[in-house]
Structure 1
Amino acid sequence: MIESSHTSPSAGWAARRLAELHLAAVFLTRLPLPHLRPPLPALSAALWAFPLVGAGIGLAGGAVLMLASAVGLPGPLAAGLALLATVLLTGALHEDGLADIADGFGGGATRARKLEILRDSRVGSYGVVALLLVVGLRWQALASLAANPLSAALVLTAAHALARASVPWAMVLGRPARSDGLGAAAGEASLVIALITLAVGMVVAVGLVPALALPMAGLMLTITAGIGWVATRQIGGYTGDVLGAIVLLSETAALMAATR
């Protein structure tokens, strides 16, 4: 029997989606994943998978929280270990973005100077203060939920998923602040991709925390629009650092909303 060498349309579609999911995981985590084989998908095409990768990161943190609670650690320690696990998985990717825009927007007098600071790997006083405040808020919010470890784990997973759905919306609502760098290299995100990404994030959130899904999504979109507006006023658009900061602040707001 002679086997056909042609790939069916459905198999080709599935292979492209898997490649995009792989790219999203490579970009958003520090997991030792195998290299992608060419042709590589565009990062903008992989945005729909960001909430799925985010859910995986949140799930890992939630598992650590539940394990820490099971062995008798108090809520604040369990929450701290959960956050540490997520930071290790992401390589502090979004924390770095927040620190950079805090330094750039706070310390630069001109657009050119702000963009220069954003590219500086050093962290200044504005960045340190911003990180301390946001890490503290996330820690306190998660610790307040840790009395019910399973509920806290579900909230953390949903928050990570919806926070990463912010990326294509920031790209749709704004424009790259410069012609090079990660923000420009990511390509263009369409409204269709943004809607699909939000739908994926909502499916995850509704499945885990149905009562909180809409408030979390509303906060994410509000923060995305707000930080995007500030970034446009400050530097003319978004950069990779701006996108990372939006993700982190959206996650923080989602965790805080769950404490009500």
Structure 2
Amino acid sequence: MSDQSEKAQTLSQNAWQRILIGILIDLARALRFYSRLPVPRLPWEQDPHALPDFRQLVRVLPLAGIVLGLLPAFVLVLALALDLGPWLAAILSVATATLTTGAFHEDGLADTADSFGGTTRERRLAIMKDSLIGSYGSSALILSFALRIGALATLASRVDSSAVFAAILVAAALSRMAGLVPLVFLPPARPDGASQAVGRPARESFWLAAGFAAGMALLMGMAVRLPSSGIGLMLMFSALSGWALMRLAARHIQGQTGDVAGAAQQVAEIAALIGLLIAIEP
């Protein structure tokens, strides 16, 4: 009986080790895909440069978002501690975030804005694939940077540094989940596009990850005493942003692309920060 108990315990430990290793591998792949961070090859990885499979990656996306928000959040808090003022601190934080991701999401926002100005579905997809940037894309980028910097600067003037730090992490996690909404609920617009190659997450996996992200947002918000109404608005506004981009993509290109996912992330991050600000008194 004792031998059987020890064997069962060993099998249980091995199962948990496999799950943990799988999570670490998926997290490393997510960070490589979404950022320019120098993520080392893990001992269990066969090919660290393999294209990620979003059917598995969805489970770690909230964690990846938090990791990607750490450096921008630290820069903002450090700039505030050096008494550089909320506006310069916000600019440095957004610049850090852009460098960390290699303007990955910003590129998607610009391409999506340009493409939705096309007259036909085929023309819109062609514009989206073009590396050139037009007036719609330029305007979208200017507005995105201005809104994010303004939201962070205003937030930094209303709450303490720990609350700002947590808010950046929450917005980073929620916006990455919002960026998945078009990928989950729409078919790929191109048979040879990047969104087709990385796979579509199952809806059940997406909802589990979204619930995990919401739970983390609530816990982090409570830890730094952010208003629960503000966290609720962050959740609602980021979700609505993902849904809105999904509906626009369905209307304009009858599907989704990686650029649409990037645009959804940018809009959701802005919406989440503004939602929090609405609940915080000046």
Letter in structure 2 aligned against 1:12: R
Matched, 1:92 2:103: yes
Deviation at 1:10?
2.2
Deviation at 1:134?
1.4
Aligned residue number for residue 7 of structure 2: none
Q: Which moved more, 1:211-220 or 1:33-42?
A: 33-42
Q: Which runs of 5+ in 1 are unaligned?
A: 1-5
- Pick the aligned partner of 2:76 from 65, 68, 80: 65
Query: For 1:114-129, what aligned pairs fall within 5 Å after superposition?
Result: 114-129=124-139
Q: Distance in 1 between matches of 2:26 and 2:116?
A: 33
**Higher Rg of the two aligned structures:** 2
Q: Distance in 1 between matches of 2:107 and 2:73?
A: 22
Contact 2:238–2:271 (Cα < 8 Å) also in 1? yes
Matched, 1:164 2:176: yes
Q: For this pair of structures, how many residues does the alignment match?
A: 255
Aligned residue number for residue 46 of structure 2: 38
Query: For 1:44-59, what aligned pairs fall within 5 Å after superposition?
Result: 44-59=55-70
Letter in structure 2 aligned against 1:204: M
Letter in structure 2 aligned against 1:259: L
Deviation at 1:126?
0.6
Aligned residue number for residue 142 of structure 1: 152
Q: Which runs of 5+ in 2 are unaligned?
A: 1-10, 223-227
Q: Distance in 2 between matches of 1:159 and 1:63?
A: 14
Q: Which moved more, 1:7-16 or 1:154-163?
A: 7-16
What is the aligned-residue RMSD (CA, Å)? 1.9
Contact 1:51–1:163 (Cα < 8 Å) also in 2? no
Letter in structure 2 aligned against 1:96: D
Q: Distance in 2 between matches of 1:34 and 1:97?
A: 26
Query: TM-score normalised to the size of structure 1?
Result: 0.92
- Pick the aligned partner of 1:223 from 241, 253, 264: 241
Aligned residue number for residue 113 of structure 1: 123
Q: Which moved more, 1:114-123 or 1:169-178?
A: 169-178
Structure 1 runs, 4 residues or longer, greater than 4 Å off: none
Q: Distance in 2 between matches of 1:180 and 1:213?
A: 38
Query: TM-score normalised to the size of structure 2?
Result: 0.85
Matched, 1:202 2:214: yes
Aligned residues: percent identity? 35
Deviation at 1:178?
1.1
Matched, 1:77 2:88: yes
Q: Distance in 1 between matches of 2:143 and 2:53?
A: 34
